[in-house]
Chains A and B, each alone.
Chain A
Amino acid sequence: MTDNVAKSNGTTPAAVPASGLAAKGSAVVKWADDRLGLATSQKKMIRKVFPDHWTFMLGEIALWSFVVLLVTGVFLTLWFVPSMGEVQYQGSYDQLRGVEMSQAYASALDISFDVRGGLLLRQMHHWAAMIFIAAMLVHMMRVFVTGAFRKPREVNWLIGGVLILLGVVEGFAGYSLPDDLLSGTGLRIADGLIKSTPVVGTWMSFFMFDGEFPGEAIIPRLYVAHVLLVPGLILALVAAHMLLVVYHKHTQWAGPGRTEENVVGYPMMPVYAAKAGGFFFIVFGVTALMGGLLSINPIWKYGPYDPSKVTAGSQPDWYMGIAEGLLRIMPHWETHIFGTTWSWNVFLPGEVAPMILLGVMMMWPFLEAWVTGDKAEHHILDRPRNAPTRTAFLAAMMSVYGLLWAAGGNDLLATQFSLNMEWITRFMRVAVFVVPVLVFFIAKRWCIALQRHDSEKILHGYETGIIMRSPEGAYSERHLPISGEEAYRLTARARDNVVAAPVNGEVEAKGARAAKLRAKLSTWMFADNVQKPTAQELEEAHHHAEHEHELEAGLAHAADGHQFDGHHDVAGEELRH
Chain B
Amino acid sequence: MTDHTDNSPAVPAEPIADPGIPAHLPRPTDVDPKAARRAERQVAAMFIASMLCAIGFAVAYYTFDIKDSWDTFLGFGASNLFLGLTLGFALLLIGVGVIQWSRKLMGDHEISELRHPAASAESDREKVLADLALGLEESGIARRPLVRNTLLGALGFLGVPAIVALNDLGPDATPSNIKKTLEKTFWKSGIRVVNDVTGRWIKASDMEIGQLVNAEPEGLVDAFDPRATAQQREDIESRSLEGAALQVAKTKSAVIVVRMEPKDISSATAAWAHEGIAVYSKICTHVGCPIALWEQQTHHLLCPCHQSTFDLADKGRVVFGPAARSLPQLPIEVDDEGYLVAKSDFLEPVGPSYWERDYK
Binding site for B on A (CB under 8 A): 47-49, 84-86, 92, 94, 100, 113-114, 116-117, 119-120, 123-124, 151-152, 185, 188-189, 191-193, 195-203, 205-217, 247-249, 256-257, 259-267, 270-271, 274-275, 277-293, 305-314, 324, 327-334, 336, 339-341, 343, 345-346, 349-350, 372-373, 377, 379, 410-411, 421-422, 425, 458, 484-485, 487-488, 491-492, 495, 497, 499-500, 502, 506-507, 511, 514-515, 518, 532-538
Bound form: Cα–Cα A286–B170 in Å: 43
**Nearest Cβ in chain B — how far from A253, in angstroms?**
13
- Closest 10 pairs (CB-CB, A-B): A292-B84, A192-B287, A285-B92, A281-B95, A257-B21, A278-B98, A285-B91, A334-B324, A308-B254, A289-B88
List 27 contacting pairs A-B, 8 Å CB cutoff, sorted by A: A49-B111, A100-B222, A185-B289, A189-B305, A191-B288, A202-B178, A202-B355, A207-B170, A209-B170, A210-B171, A211-B171, A262-B114, A266-B110, A280-B95, A285-B88, A288-B92, A289-B92, A292-B84, A292-B85, A307-B250, A307-B290, A310-B291, A310-B292, A313-B304, A332-B321, A345-B322, A532-B15
Residues of chain B with a CB closer than 8 A to A124's CB: 84
Interface residues of B in 307-341 (CB under 8 A from A): 307-308, 318, 320-325
Given contacts A211-B171, A263-B113, A491-B15, A277 and B98 within 8 Å (CB-CB): yes
The verdict on B181 contacting chain A, using a C-beta distance below 8 Å, is: yes
The verdict on B33 contacting chain A, using a C-beta distance below 8 Å, is: no
Residue pair A339, B248 in contact (C-beta under 8 Å): no
Residues of chain B with a CB closer than 8 A to A201's CB: 354-355
Bound form: Cα–Cα A507–B308 in Å: 55
Residue pair B244, A120 in contact (C-beta under 8 Å): no
Given contacts A202-B356, A274-B106, A292-B80, A327 and B171 within 8 Å (CB-CB): no
Bound form: Cα–Cα A346–B12 in Å: 55
Residues of chain A with a CB closer than 8 A to B244's CB: 84, 214-216
The verdict on B115 contacting chain A, using a C-beta distance below 8 Å, is: yes
**Nearest Cβ in chain B — how far from A113, in angstroms?**
6
**Nearest Cβ in chain A — how far from B66, in angstroms?**
6
Bound form: Cα–Cα A287–B85 in Å: 10
Given contacts A307-B250, A314-B305, A262 and B115 within 8 Å (CB-CB): yes
CB nearest to A264 among chain B residues: B112
Bound form: Cα–Cα A485–B360 in Å: 77
Bound form: Cα–Cα A190–B352 in Å: 11
CB nearest to B4 among chain A residues: A373
Residue pair A343, B107 in contact (C-beta under 8 Å): no
The verdict on B140 contacting chain A, using a C-beta distance below 8 Å, is: no
Most chain B CB inside 10 Å of its own CB: which residue of A49, A188, A328, A485:
A188
Encoded as 1 (CB less than 8 Å from any A CB) or 0, chain B from 75 to 112 comes to 01101111111011111111111110110001110111
Bound form: Cα–Cα A197–B353 in Å: 10
Residue pair A256, B355 in contact (C-beta under 8 Å): no
Encoded as 1 (CB less than 8 Å from any A CB) or 0, chain B from 49 to 80 comes to 00000000000010000111000000011011
Residues of chain A with a CB closer than 8 A to B173's CB: 202-203, 205-206
5 additional contacts, CB 8 Å, given A289-B92, A293-B81? Answer: A210-B170, A211-B181, A213-B248, A217-B169, A334-B325
Interface residues of B in 120-171 (CB under 8 A from A): 166, 169-171
The verdict on B13 contacting chain A, using a C-beta distance below 8 Å, is: yes
Bound form: Cα–Cα A283–B292 in Å: 41
Bound form: Cα–Cα A432–B88 in Å: 41
Bound form: Cα–Cα A538–B13 in Å: 11
Interface residues of B in 190-246 (CB under 8 A from A): 196, 214, 216, 222, 242-244
Encoded as 1 (CB less than 8 Å from any A CB) or 0, chain B from 243 to 261 comes to 1100110111010000000
> How many B residues, CB 8 Å from partner?
113
Residues of chain A with a CB closer than 8 A to B92's CB: 281-282, 285-286, 288-289
Residues of chain A with a CB closer than 8 A to B14's CB: 491, 535
Bound form: Cα–Cα A202–B180 in Å: 14
**Nearest Cβ in chain B — how far from A338, in angstroms?**
8
Bound form: Cα–Cα A215–B251 in Å: 10
Residues of chain A with a CB closer than 8 A to B359's CB: 339
Residue pair B67, A488 in contact (C-beta under 8 Å): no
Residue pair B83, A292 in contact (C-beta under 8 Å): yes
Bound form: Cα–Cα A183–B322 in Å: 21
CB nearest to A497 among chain B residues: B8
Bound form: Cα–Cα A410–B305 in Å: 10
**Nearest Cβ in chain B — how far from A184, in angstroms?**
9
CB nearest to B65 among chain A residues: A116
Residue pair A196, B102 in contact (C-beta under 8 Å): no
Contact for A533 among B15, B196, B318, B357, CB less than 8 A: B15
Bound form: Cα–Cα A47–B98 in Å: 18
**Nearest Cβ in chain B — how far from A152, in angstroms?**
4
Bound form: Cα–Cα A247–B290 in Å: 53
CB nearest to A256 among chain B residues: B19
**Nearest Cβ in chain B — how far from A89, in angstroms?**
13
Residue pair A332, B4 in contact (C-beta under 8 Å): no
Residue pair B107, A271 in contact (C-beta under 8 Å): yes
Residue pair B83, A534 in contact (C-beta under 8 Å): no
**Nearest Cβ in chain A — how far from B244, in angstroms?**
4
Bound form: Cα–Cα A289–B81 in Å: 8
Given contacts A195-B354, A279-B99, A285-B92, A339 and B360 within 8 Å (CB-CB): yes
**Nearest Cβ in chain B — how far from A248, in angstroms?**
6
Given contacts A310-B290, A314-B304, A332-B324, A210 and B111 within 8 Å (CB-CB): no
CB nearest to B289 among chain A residues: A310
Residue pair A152, B169 in contact (C-beta under 8 Å): no
Residues of chain A with a CB closer than 8 A to B7's CB: 500
Residues of chain B with a CB closer than 8 A to A499's CB: 2, 4
Residues of chain B with a CB closer than 8 A to A484's CB: 16, 19
